[in-house]
Amino acid sequence: MALLNQTVGQVVREKARQFPDVEAYVYPEHGIRKTYREFDAETDRLAKAFIGMGIEKGEHVAIWSDNKREWFLSQFATGKMGAVLVTVNTNYQASELEYLLRQSDATTLILDESFKGTSYIDIVRKVCPESSGSQKGDIRSGKLPKLKRIILMTESDEPGMFKWSELEAMADGVSDETLEERFNSLDPDDVINIQYTSGTTGFPKGVMLTHNNVVNNAQLIGDYMKLTEKDRLCIPVPFFHCFGCVLSTLTAVTHASTCVIVEQFKPLTVLQAVQDEKCTALNGVPTMFIAELEHPEFKNFDTSSLRTGIMAGSTCPIEVMKKVIHDMGADEITICYGQTESSPVITQTRTDDPIEKRVSTVGKPHPHVEVKIIDPATGENVPQGMPGELCTRGYHVMKGYYNNEDATREAIDPDGWLHTGDIAIMDEDGYIDVTGRIKDMVIRGGENIYPREIEEFLYTHPAVSDVQVVGVPDPKYGEELMAWIILKQGAEETEETIREFCKGKISYHKIPRYIEFTSEYPMTASGKIQKFKLREMSEQRAEV
């Protein structure tokens, strides 16, 4: 299939023309359901409102909330009028928000009032105290000189902040012709989205993605899932992350599928939505699928409508994958691998791949995507079946990091190859297995150990629900392994019984020296496990 050359807005209009009466999105928790015809009209009106507010093409609009309808509509409305949507992590606190608004040069901030008990309004007042004494739309902040407008997703009266209805009313002063002029001025190679990387190391970097980056990636992802206008995709992953706004909402819209949206992940809410809305697809990170499968009420829900979906965001444990296929019924579930810098998907399994490939690899590279695996020390390609750094090149590689040329040069070499920092192996059939991050590899007594291999083995223990393995410094061997294990409900194990399980099954040097039991892992808001924090905790426990 040839690559598309369309803007996000053109995709919405095309689907509304082809499938006007198909449901575009549903919010089961609020009883909201809209067709593609209505969705197209809503996003046209919101695009006019943004223009009416004075937002120019190319201006940066930050958005900060969970999976609210206003977020969803803003994603596609900015795609019609050319503002660049800057996605803000829902877990951010004051210093992180200030850094993002300043680094991204955001002129506008759209936000909800609060999230999980944290007042976003209080945080904004702390970061931008001038906002409370400012005229709406005319904020003058010393720390944030570019920030002019703050828009609430609600109807609360807050000094210096627009209510959502006040934003919407601005559409009345903008003609259809004005919107069309703006719409037609957009180029598919324009940057439409800046997503900040999770920041598992150092300050987050703003990844600049174009219409062409995300539209084509979403199109290919959905093609691999065999999505059509008859599919209904349940979306419990956060919109601010590429899993939410590319692999989920945009993937559904490029195929005229229905987005069944869950505002905040809760296993019961997801299972209820899948059952009531007869979802055919479900997206999630492995920890979400584990929470759904292991919920005491899982068996009370009918998930038989499920056919496909995506498991991604972190390494997908083989045992969990098998349960999603057999217990949930999603026998065409796919695995995606990539990173924000690659729009994000590089490789994906197909629905008809042999089961062993679907549970043990991340599939093959997408069409129009080049992949090579190199020795990070020499830059030379490694022999087939040997581990090395995965590099990729093609339409999907980001335009660069915003205002950070040094980091861009570090990530993308002069020949256009994006260096992922991930260790991968390609088999004789072209399937790729990602075994970890270069920095996660443990070197014990000169032996290279990939934590993923130990994790996959420990998942086969009947009492283990989840496991993460990291390296800790050791005076004798350089590094030793520590396993952090979450046990299944009611299970009782000790360090000794776990080690006993390993003996004779994996090499002695791969048996973790340290074993800790825990109830949860440090996570990013997008569901990624922060291994660097686990390493810090491990070093304290190991007293090294």
Q: What is the number of other CB atoms lying within 10 angstroms of the CB of residue 175? A: 10
Question: Mean pLDDT, to the nearest integer, of 57-66?
Answer: 98
CA distance 430 to 35: 40
Q: What is the mean pLDDT of residues 370-399?
A: 95
How confident is residue 456, by pLDDT bands cut at 50, 70 and 90? Answer: confident
pLDDT at residue 255 tops 90: yes
The fraction of the chain above a pLDDT of 90, given in percent, is 83
Angle between helices 286-293 and 267-276 (to 10 degrees): 80
Please spell the DSSP secondary structure of 280-293, one letter per residue.
Answer: SEEEE-HHHHHHHH
The larger pLDDT score, comparing residue 225 to residue 477, is at: 225
- Rounded to an integer, the average pLDDT of 142-153 is 97
Domain locations in the chain? Answer: 35-206, 441-542
- SS3 sequence of 124-184: HHHHCHHHHHCECCECCCCCCCCCCEEEECCCCCCCCCECHHHHHHHHHHCCHHHHHHHHH
What per-residue string of b and e applies to 499-525 under the rule 16 or more CB within 10 Å gives b?
A: eebbeeeeeeebbbbbbbeeeebbbbb
304: enclosing H helix or E strand: none
Whole-number average pLDDT of the chain:
94
Q: How confident is the model at residue 360 (pLDDT cuts 50, 70, 90)?
A: confident
What is the reported pLDDT for 58? 98
The pTM for the full model equals 0.87
Predicted local distance difference test score (pLDDT) of residue 477: 84
Least confident range from 56-65, 206-215, 449-458, 462-471: namely: 449-458
Please determine, for residue 544, whether its predicted confidence score (pLDDT) is greater than 60.
no
- C-alpha span between 82 and 374 (Å, rounded): 38
CB-based contact 346:392 (threshold 8 Å) = yes
CATH of domain 441-542: 3.30.300.30
d(CA 222, CA 227): 5
Q: Which region, left, alpha or beta, applies to residue 103 given φ > 0 means left and ψ of -120 to 50 means alpha?
A: alpha
pLDDT digits (tens, 9 = 90+) for 288-308: 999 999 999 999 999 999 999
Between CA 420 and CA 422 the distance in angstroms is 5
DSSP string, 16-27: HHH-TTSEEEEE
Whether the per-residue pLDDT at 411 is higher than 80: the answer is yes
DSSP annotation of 56 reads P
Give the model's pLDDT for residue 532. 85
Q: Does domain 35-206 have CATH number 3.40.190.10?
A: no
Q: Render pLDDT for 14-33 as a digit per residue (tens, 0 to 9).
A: 999 999 999 999 999 999 99
